[in-house]
């Protein structure tokens, strides 16, 4: 009897690996095939989830949910319009200038390498930088070609982005109105002991993760902008926003953003790169050691190794979007399994969703 139970357990664990791998591969294929659709729906769902907190705030003023959604939509469109008129043109202009400057910066770095090699030869030092110089020449040619090709399709890309933005806002509006019904229908396909903890864990992890990451990214952008301006860093606003946006990629995003900005500054002025990297790393330490523990806490409960595995798998499955949602999804899966294992499926879900046993009736008037 014991041998039979042991064989059954071994069989379950042996088959679970190939089944999981097959499902991950199938999910990756579907995400690549429907990449644009999945991206639009995912961004709209995340935006609707975040805006739902504002909707619930207005619902406390004894107005219907439809009216609250319309108010939040108007405020969101107003905010996007203000950013589109003030900040976005400035960022586009700085981005174009940066792309035009990169070939000159690469040429300047090649000249500096040649001077360094001449200095080393004069002192009979065994330094050969010709390979690096040749690689820089190749990079200059590639960058010039990419800038030329990008300039041709820039107008079309801008129109496509604007259309996608409008589509995301419209989808988010309808998700705020009817998303709970769709989610309830999907959850009803699952057993109660799975659907309820899944809903609870997803709501908690998405709220804690995205709100905290947005606040941390905003902190890095707001604090770095005046510092970069004081240091007379070229494209200070663009570089600060780049580091802040990279904060959305969990755990490694800020480091990648700081490394990219530092590398670009090195091409223009190697001595300026030192205070730029120092200020960014200093603020990153403040964020990681003081702000992040208070905002994030230990909400994931995941081992750091599994976090990196989740990020890599998310990137492999869905690209950049996968890296953004990998950690909260992994934490949701862990939280759901923990609740099922502990026999505590939970007794409540978010107001954003509907329980399978007692759907909430909304006033649609």
SS3 82: helix
For the chain, which residues make up each domain, given as ranges? 33-189, 190-346
At residue 242, φ and ψ (nearest 5 deg) are: -60, -45
In 3D, which of 176, 163, 159 has the Cα closest to residue 46?
176
Find the range with the poorest average confidence among 30-34, 142-146, 268-272, 350-354. Answer: 350-354
> Does position 362 have pLDDT exceeding 50, yes or no?
no
Which range among 19-33, 309-323, 343-357 shows the weakest confidence by mean pLDDT? 343-357
What tokens does 337 get? 């399994």
Query: Residue 153 pLDDT more than 60?
Result: no
Higher pLDDT, 7 or 245: 245
> Which tens digits make up the pLDDT trace of 219-244?
999 999 999 999 888 888 889 998 98
* Phi and psi at residue 301, to the nearest 5°: 70, 15
Q: From residue 245, give the alpha-carbon distance in Å to each of 223, 322, 364.
A: 13, 15, 37
pLDDT one-digit tens code per residue, 82-130: 888 888 888 888 887 877 777 777 777 767 666 666 766 676 666 655 5
Most confident by average pLDDT, 121-125, 153-157, 169-173, 264-268:
169-173
Among 348, 313, 319, CA closest to 333: 313
pLDDT of 117 reads 67
As to burial, measured by CB atoms within 10 angstroms (0-12 exposed, 13-18 middle, 19+ buried), residue 227 is middle
Contact 210, 52 (CB under 8 A): no
Q: Residue 112 has which token pair?
A: 């500096």
């Amino acid at each position: 009897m014991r041998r039979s139970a042991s064989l059954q357990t071994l069989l379950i664990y042996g088959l679970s690996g190939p089944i999981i791998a097959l499902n991950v591969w199938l999910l990756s294929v579907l995400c690549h095939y429907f990449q644009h659709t999945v991206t639009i729906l995912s961004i709209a769902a995340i935006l609707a989830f975040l805006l739902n907190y504002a909707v619930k705030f207005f619902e406390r003023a004894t107005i219907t949910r439809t009216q609250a959604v319309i108010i939040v939509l108007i405020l969101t469109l107003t905010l996007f319009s203000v950013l589109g008129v003030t900040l976005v043109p400035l960022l586009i202009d700085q981005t174009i200038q940066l792309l035009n400057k990169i070939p000159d910066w690469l040429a300047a770095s090649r000249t500096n390498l040649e001077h360094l090699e001449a200095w080393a030869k004069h002192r009979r030092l065994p330094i050969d930088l010709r390979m690096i110089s040749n690689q820089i020449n190749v990079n200059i040619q590639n960058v010039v070609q990419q800038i030329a090709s990008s300039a041709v399709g820039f107008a079309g890309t801008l129109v496509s982005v604007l259309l996608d933005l409008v589509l995301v806002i419209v989808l988010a509006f309808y998700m705020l109105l009817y998303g709970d019904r769709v989610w309830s229908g999907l959850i009803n396909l699952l057993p109660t002991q799975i659907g309820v903890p899944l809903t609870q864990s997803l709501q908690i992890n998405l709220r804690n993760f995205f709100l905290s990451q947005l606040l941390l990214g905003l902190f890095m952008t707001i604090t770095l902008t005046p510092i970069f301006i004081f240091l007379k860093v070229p494209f200070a606003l663009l570089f600060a926003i780049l580091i802040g946006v990279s904060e959305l990629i969990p755990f490694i995003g800020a480091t990648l953003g700081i490394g990219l900005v530092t590398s670009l500054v090195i091409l223009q002025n190697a001595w300026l790169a030192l205070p730029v990297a120092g200020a960014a790393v200093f603020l990153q330490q403040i964020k990681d050691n003081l702000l992040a523990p208070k905002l994030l806490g230990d909400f994931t409960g995941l081992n750091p190794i599994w976090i990196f595995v989740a990020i890599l798998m998310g990137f492999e499955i869905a690209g950049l979007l996968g890296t953004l949602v990998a950690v909260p999804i992994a934490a949701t899966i862990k939280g759901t399994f923990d609740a099922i294992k502990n026999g505590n499926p939970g007794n409540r879900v978010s107001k954003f969703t509907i329980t399978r046993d007692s759907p909430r009736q909304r006033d649609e008037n």
